[in-house]
């Protein structure tokens, strides 16, 4: 699934605008729902600060 590095995230919401599965939410910080994320990668490539990446399920 897609994971977020909170140190790099600026909370701009660009990832949310392209997420087709409504898996990303900002409340106090940005979080990604493991249940909803389809690992499509759309958010990863549009993140201006490179805060998102794919992590293999262990």
Partner 1 sequence: MNDYDIIVVGAGPAGAMAAMSAAEGGRRVCLIERKAKAGVPVRCGEGVGYRGLTLTLEPRPEWIRATVTRARMVSPSGIAVDIGNVDKSWVLDRERMDADLVGMAVEKGAELIASTPIVSAEKTWSNRYRAVGVDGKGAEVEFTAGCLILADGVESRLARCFGWETALRPSDIETCAFARVKSDCIEPDCCVFYTGRAAAPGGYLWIFPRGGGEANVGLGVIGSRCRAGLPRELLLSFINRQFPGSKVTGLHCGGVPVGKWARPLVRGGVMLVGDAARQVNAINGAGLAYSLYAGKAAGAVAAKSFRSDGSVNHKALLEYQRAWAKNFGKQQERSFALKEFIMSADDAFLDKIAESLSKEDARKVNYLRVFMRAFASKPALLLKAFRLFK
What is the DSSP pairing of strand 24-26 with strand 30-32?
A: antiparallel
Q: Interface with partner 1 includes 6 (CB under 8 A)? A: no
The two structure tokens encoding residue 1 = 């699934």
What's the closest the beta carbon of residue 31 comes to partner 1, in angstroms? 11
| Per-residue H/E/C for 8-29 | CCCCCCHHHHHCCCCCEEECCC
Q: Interface with partner 1 includes 49 (CB under 8 A)? A: yes
Q: In the set 3, 6, 17, 31, which binds partner 1 (CB under 8 A)?
A: 17
Q: Which residues bind partner 1 (CB under 8 A)?
A: 10, 12-14, 16-20, 22, 25-28, 42, 44-50, 52-53
């Amino acid at each position: 699934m897609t994971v977020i590095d909170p140190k790099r995230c600026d909370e701009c919401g660009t990832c949310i605008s392209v997420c087709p599965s409504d898996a990303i939410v900002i409340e106090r910080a940005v979080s990604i729902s493991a249940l909803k994320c389809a690992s499509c990668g759309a958010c990863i490539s549009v993140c201006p600060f490179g805060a998102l990446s794919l992590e293999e399920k262990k």
